[in-house]
Structure 1
C-alpha cells in the first residue's frame, strides 16, 4: 500500500518536473502544435507533456514490475511504449491516420488476452482498443481535457482491477493517473505543454488494453456496457464526430471544430468550464462502470449511461459547426475560428 502511494507520488512529481524541463527543447525543435486563443491570436504549445508522461510512467511502472517479481504487465508496457513511439513519429512527421491505426492494431493484437476472452472476443477487443486510442487522441485539442478524462478513466480501471486483485494492472493505472496529474499542472488553461499523439495515444492504448484485461472472462454484453461506461466521454465524442461528418458530407479523416468541446464552447462555456463539465461526466460514468463491475449496481445502470450519452450526442449534434464559407463574411469567419478555440 505504502509502496504504491510512494510510486504514484514519485510519478506525479517527476512528470511535472520533466514536462517543464522538456518544454524549451520542444520549442527549439519545433515539436509544437498551434492552438487558437481569444482575440484572434494563436499560440504554440510544445508537445513535451506526452513524452514526460510516457517516460516517467513507464519507468516507475517498470521498476514496480521488476520489484514485485512480475505483475504481468511487462508486455503491456512494451506495447504501450511502441504506440508512444509511433505517436511521437506522427507528431514529428504527421503520419497518416491509417498508418497510426495499423501500428496500434498490431500492438493491441500482441497483448489482448485471447486465453481468457477467446479469439473472437479478443479480435473485437483489438478493434475496441484502436477506437479508444484514437478517441483519446481526438479530444487532445482543448486545454486540460484529454489529461483530465484520462486521469478519471485510469483511476476507474485501477479500481476495477483492485476489485479482482489484479495488482499489476491496478498499480500501472495508478501510476499512469498520477503521471497525468503531474502533466495537468502545465496543461490547464492556458496550457504550457500538450500531450500530442505520443501521450494521448499511449495513454488511451494502455487504459483500453488494461480495461480489456480486467473484463476478460466476463459476459460479452455486460463487459461491453462496463467498457463503454469507463470510456463514455471519449466514445461519445467519437460517435458525435463520425455521425456529424457523415451527415455533413465531410470526409471522416478530415479535422474540424465538431467535437464535444467545440460545441460546448459555442454554447458559451469557457475552456476550463468545458473541461470541468466533461470531467464530471467522465467521473459519473466511470463510477457507474466500477460499481457495475464490482456487482454493486445492476446492468440497468449501464443502460442509463448509454442512454445519457446518446442524449448528449443528439443534443450537441444540433449545434451548428460547419459554416458555409462562401456565404459568410471574413469577419464572421474570424469570429467563428476564435469561438472554436
Structure 2
C-alpha cells in the first residue's frame, strides 16, 4: 500500500517534469500536431510512457511490486505500440499501419488459455478498437488524459478485486503519470499526448481490462468492458456513423468527434472535457460495481442507453468544415482564372 502511494507520487512528479522538458525539443524538431490553431508539441506521450515503464519496472526489479503472470509482457508490448505511435508522430504513418500494429500486438498479449479461441479473437478485436478509440479522443485538450485517468482507476479497482496486485499497481502508476501530464495538457495545452501516448493509453487499458475479465462469461464480460470504455466507444461510434452517412473516408481526420460537437452546444473547451469526464466516471463506476458484484448486470443497459442517446443527439449537431488556408484559396482562384 505504502509503495503504491510512493510509486504513484513519483510517477506524477517525474512525468510533470519530463513533459515540460520535452516541450522545447519537440518544437525545434517539428514534432507537433498541426491540426490545432497553433502547433502543439506532442512528446508528452513519451514522458507518460517512459515514466510508467521506469517506475513499474523498478517495482519489479526490486521485488517490492512484482508484475505477476503476463503483466510484464503486456507492458513491454504496450511500449512497443507507443514506439510505433512515436514513429507516426514523426513521420505521419498511414492509419492502416497503426491498425495492423495494434492487431499484431493484441494477438500477442491475450490470455487464450482463459478466454478460449473465440473469446480471444473477440478480445483482440476489442483491444484494437479501444486503442484506436483512445487515439481518437486526443482531439481536445485534456480529454484523452482525463478519460484515461478515470478508466485506469476503474480498471485498477477491478484488478485489485481479482487479487492482481501487480496489474493494479501498474494501473495506479499509469494513472498518476497521466495526471502529471495533464498539468501541461489542460486547456490551453502546452504539450500534447500524440499518437505515442494515446495508443499506449488505449492499448494498456483495454488489455488490462481483458486480463481482469478473462475466465468470466462472455455476455457479462462484454457489459463490463463496454462500461469501462463507454466514452471512447461513444466517440468511435459517433465518428463512424457520421462519416458513413456523409460518405467520407473513415480513417481521415475531421472535426466531428464528441468534444467538437459538444462545444457547438455552448460549453467552453474545459467545460466539454469536464462533462465527458463526468460521463466517463459514471460509466466506469457502473462497470466496477458490476465486476465486483455490487449491482446487477442490467445496470450496463443504462450505460448503453446513455451512449446511444448521446450519439443520436450529437449526430444531429452540424460540424464546422475545416477552414481552407489562404494559400489553398489563392491556388483555387488562380485555377478558376486560368480556366
**TM-score class, shorter:** over 0.9
Q: TM-score, normalized by length of structure 2?
A: 0.93
**1:8 corresponds to which residue?**
8
**2:208 corresponds to which residue?**
210
Establish whether residue 52 from structure 1 lines up as the match of residue 50 from structure 2: no
Q: Deviation digits for residues 7-43 of structure 1, max 9, x if unmatched?
A: 000000000000011111111111111254xxxxx21
Unaligned runs of 5+ in 1: 37-41, 331-341
Cα distance in structure 2, aligned partners of 1:118 and 1:215: 13
**1:252 corresponds to which residue?**
250
Establish whether residue 65 from structure 1 lines up as the match of residue 60 from structure 2: yes
**How much does 1:65 deviate?**
2.2
Q: Deviation digits for residues 182-234 of structure 1, max 9, x if unmatched?
A: 00000000000000000000011000000000000111011001000000000
Cα distance in structure 1, aligned partners of 2:10 and 2:17: 11
Q: How does 1:277-316 map to 2 (within 5 A)?
A: 277-316=275-314
* 1:190 to 1:301, Cα distance in 2 relative to 1, 3 A: same
**How much does 1:286 deviate?**
0.1
When structure 1 is superposed on structure 2, of 114-123 and 58-67 the one drifting more is 58-67
84, 90, 112: which one aligns with 1:114: 112
Q: Deviation digits for residues 292-315 of structure 1, max 9, x if unmatched?
A: 000000011001100111000001
Cα distance in structure 1, aligned partners of 2:189 and 2:91: 23
**1:182 corresponds to which residue?**
180
Tell me how large the CA RMSD over aligned residues is.
1.7
Q: How does 1:1-341 map to 2 (within 5 A)?
A: 1-36=1-36, 42-66=37-61, 67=63, 68-72=65-69, 73-321=71-319
SS at match of 2:34: strand
Contact conserved, 1:230 with 1:285, CA < 8 A, in 2?
yes
**How much does 1:69 deviate?**
4.3
Cα distance in structure 2, aligned partners of 1:307 and 1:202: 29
Q: TM-score, normalized by length of structure 1?
A: 0.92
Cα distance in structure 2, aligned partners of 1:170 and 1:279: 21
Unaligned runs of 5+ in 2: 329-339
**1:333 corresponds to which residue?**
none
**1:336 corresponds to which residue?**
none
